């Protein structure tokens, strides 16, 4: 019986030593990637252009079947080098009421969102990814975050246009780069 126990103990020890020799190791082969494209017409250039602080020059909302709403107020758009975006627009009480009727909810006259953006160079489109809000699903209101913004650049002027599913503009915001 002692011999059987001894044989079992030796077999268990050999198995444990063998298993310890099979421990996993980190991957040592480098992952091959391509260099990041740089220069005119690249994603890196678009991010670099957007980076900084922008002041709102004008903002109009075009609710379907209703009169356009020209925002009376001020706003700041800040875009960092990681694609994070922060927008804060402050409007007067009259504009806040008109926006509410148009389906744009303000909180005490403030429209604010924070998150990151996905840039589609080919279609000249920005898509907001706002923390805690779904990126897909039914869009509600002309400024719904799941609606892409189409962008145009003219010098230091950035125009962001939100469109409905048929391509009709729902809002147009013009931003001037701060120096």
Q: What pLDDT sits at residue 92?
A: 94
What's the rounded Cα separation, in Å, for the pair 69 and 71? 6
Q: What pLDDT sits at residue 119?
A: 87
Strand partners, 52: 79
- % of the chain exceeding 70 in pLDDT: 74
Q: Which among 137, 173, 179 is positioned nearest to 152, based on CA atoms?
A: 173
Number of CB atoms found within 10 A of residue 24's CB: 5
Residue 18 lies in a domain: no
Residue 22 lies in a domain: no
Residue 8 lies in a domain: no
How confident is the model over 29-53, as pLDDT tens digits?
Answer: 777 766 665 666 777 787 888 889 9
Q: What pLDDT sits at residue 4?
A: 55
Lowest mean pLDDT among 89-93, 130-134, 153-157: 130-134
Q: What is the CATH number of the domain that holds 124?
A: 2.40.128.50
Residue 38 lies in a domain: no
What's the rounded Cα separation, in Å, for the pair 14 and 142? 70
Residue reference for tokens 């875009």: 79
Residue 122 lies in a domain: yes
* Buried-state track 85-98, b at ≥16 Cβ within 10 A, e below 16: bebebbbeeebbeb
How confident is the model over 119-142, as pLDDT tens digits?
Answer: 888 888 888 887 665 555 445 677
- Is the pLDDT score of 14 beyond 80? no
Residue 136 lies in a domain: yes
Q: How many domains does the chain have?
A: 1
What's the rounded Cα separation, in Å, for the pair 114 and 35? 30
Residue 29 lies in a domain: no
Q: Are 160 and 128 in contact (CB under 8 A)?
A: no
What does pTM read for this prediction?
Answer: 0.72
Residue 137 lies in a domain: yes
> Burial, 10: exposed, middle or buried (Cβ in 10 Å; 0-12, 13-18, 19+)?
exposed
Instruction: Write out the two tokens for 67.
Output: 């009169």
Lowest mean pLDDT among 62-66, 91-95, 140-144, 153-157: 140-144
| Domain interval for residue 104 | 43-177
């Amino acid at each position: 019986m002692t011999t059987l126990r001894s044989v079992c103990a030796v077999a268990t020890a050999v198995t444990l030593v063998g298993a310890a020799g099979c421990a996993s190791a980190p991957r040592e082969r480098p992952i091959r990637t391509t260099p990041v494209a740089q220069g005119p017409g690249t994603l890196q250039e678009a991010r670099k252009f957007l980076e900084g602080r922008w002041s709102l020059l004008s903002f109009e909302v075009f609710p379907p079947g209703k009169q356009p709403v020209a925002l009376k107020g001020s706003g700041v758009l800040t875009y960092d080098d990681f694609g994070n975006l922060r927008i804060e627009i402050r409007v007067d009480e009259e504009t806040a009421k008109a926006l509410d009727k148009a389906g744009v909810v303000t909180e005490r006259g403030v429209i604010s969102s924070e998150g990151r953006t996905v840039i589609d160079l080919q279609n000249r489109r920005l898509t907001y990814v706002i923390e805690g809000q779904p990126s897909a699903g039914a869009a509600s209101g002309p400024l719904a975050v799941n609606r892409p913004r189409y962008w145009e650049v003219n010098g230091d002027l950035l125009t962001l246009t939100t469109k409905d599913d048929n391509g009709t503009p729902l809002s147009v915001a013009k931003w001037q780069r701060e120096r």
